[in-house]
Structure 1
Amino acid sequence: MWVYADMDYLSVLSLLVKGMKHPLPGKEAQLSMSPTPVDHRRFEASLPTDHRKGAVLILLYPKDGQAFFPLIKRPEYPGVHSGQIAFPGGKMEEEDEDEVDTALREAWEEVGVRPEQVNIIGKMSDLFIPASNFLVSPIVGFSEQIPDFVPEKSEVARIIQAAVSTLYEPHFRKQKVLEFSQSFRLDTPYFEVDKEMVWGATAMILGELLQILENGKN
């Protein structure tokens, strides 16, 4: 896995559609990009009773013949995810019918992706984020054209158009120790995308996406 391949948009889309027909790789693939020591609360069968549900959108689209997807940088704010790189997404609201509705609504609100522009492929494995008490459902879809991205200024500091091929290039896969306090450090694998550090839950979700693409070869 993770051997660089210059795959065009249609090839990536085909692999993803095929890969999603296999059993989801889930925890094993997510752990491939997890900081250590691993927070095993992510994978416990019983989640906190007060946990919240949310969804993110992984949207593939063609750009210069290659497969791209949008990431966002959160603004600086007093919160656990301040300044981090994420997928468009957020918490499920009462009016949302399901996780797909949540992902599409949030992508529209945050980056201006029109819901009718998105063709849904399916849902990847849920991932619990202990720091914010969210159970996140990654929804995968595609667009036949580049969306007309518009950042929602209060929630999005910048939009990053990331190439799937970048995730395969060894020099964009890195590791560093993040020191949060004198007694708390994380040995953290990450993707460097447009000079930004993509780590934590977002990197773990991308780890499963790469394994799904790999499974699509079979």
Structure 2
Amino acid sequence: MTRPVITQPQLVPVTSIDDHLPAVQPEALTAEAIRARLAALSNWSPEFVGDGGLFTNREPAGAAVLVPLVRRDEGLTLLLTRRTDHLRDHAGQISFPGGRVEPEDDGPVATALRETEEEIGLPRDFIRVIGQLPVYSTVTAFQVTPVVALVEPGFTLTLDSFEVAEAFEVPLAFLMNPAHHRHHRFEFGGTERRFLSMPWPGPEREYFIWGATAAMLRNLYRLLSEA
């Protein structure tokens, strides 16, 4: 099946907004609460597993991303990147730092840490891994392991200008409030795609968080809201 390409996701009609669902409570958004909930992950199933087997002829490939939760005085924030516009996969999209598993990587944690260091220059000394979310399968045939980590403040980023146009932080509480979760439906040539978005009105511009990144964040919401 041919994958319908979505080049302007922000223009795809919104079919519903999940403002009827409760936001994750502040006590569940602390570092300690998130660590404890990840430790109890074995009996939990994610809401979104991905659609990687539907729209591509590529062989599946392993990948890992870091879900970096930065400790700030006002609460945890999520460090995200905006990819450059010329990349083959997910150009211009908002994403977690991460990438393809390489043969020398000793598992998804090693991949996530290596890719994060290469893409945005976040030193490993500031990162403490606290768990993983279930694998998410993307439309580009990547089997992505989200590695959740706490990041201590005081770091300085050095972006790889070829891959990363920008790095920014979003309050985790904003993303864990489903009043900001929008469902979209796109149809082209008889083929349908549905996706989730979480547009964040940043201090200087809006960041349209959608697709796989939004789906993995929705899985984190489900995990924390059931705590």
2:209 is aligned with 1:191: no
CA distance in 1, matches of 2:45, 2:154: 29
Output the TM-score relative to the length of structure 2.
Answer: 0.77
Q: Verify the 8 A CA contact 1:68 1:164 in the aligned structure 2.
A: yes
Aligned residue runs from structure 1 range 79-98, under 5 A:
79-98=88-107
CA distance in 1, matches of 2:218, 2:21: 10
Question: Deviations for 1:164-214, whole angstroms, at most 9, x for unmatched residues?
Answer: 1111345532233446x4544434321112322212111111111112222
Deviation at 1:21, TM superposition (A): 2.0
Unpaired runs of at least 5, structure 2: 1-19
2:12 is aligned with 1:4: no
The equivalent residue for 2:69 is 60
Deviation at 1:5, TM superposition (A): 5.5
Pairwise CA RMSD: 2.7
2:155 is aligned with 1:147: yes
The equivalent residue for 2:48 is 30
Structure 1 counterpart SS, 2:118? helix
Aligned residue runs from structure 1 range 128-207, under 5 A:
128-129=137-138, 131-178=139-186, 181-193=188-200, 194=202, 195-207=206-218
CA distance in 2, matches of 1:92, 1:199: 23
Q: Verify the 8 A CA contact 1:89 1:103 in the aligned structure 2.
A: yes
**Alignment identity in percent?**
24
Deviation at 1:146, TM superposition (A): 4.7
CA distance in 1, matches of 2:169, 2:120: 12
The equivalent residue for 1:70 is 79
Number of residue-to-residue matches in the alignment: 201
Structure 2 counterpart SS, 1:140? strand
**Counterpart pick for 1:15 among 33, 42, 56:** 33
Q: Verify the 8 A CA contact 2:37 2:223 in the aligned structure 1.
A: yes
Structure 1 counterpart SS, 2:106? coil
Question: Deviations for 1:113-152, whole angstroms, at most 9, x for unmatched residues?
Answer: 11122111111101111x3221111101102325322221
CA distance in 2, matches of 1:121, 1:88: 16
More off after superposition, 91-100 vs 142-151: 142-151
Unpaired runs of at least 5, structure 1: 43-47
Question: Deviations for 1:32-70, whole angstroms, at most 9, x for unmatched residues?
Answer: xx7xxxx3737xxxxx89321110001111223210111
CA distance in 1, matches of 2:143, 2:222: 21
Structure 2 counterpart SS, 1:157? strand
CA distance in 1, matches of 2:221, 2:136: 16
CA distance in 1, matches of 2:144, 2:165: 21
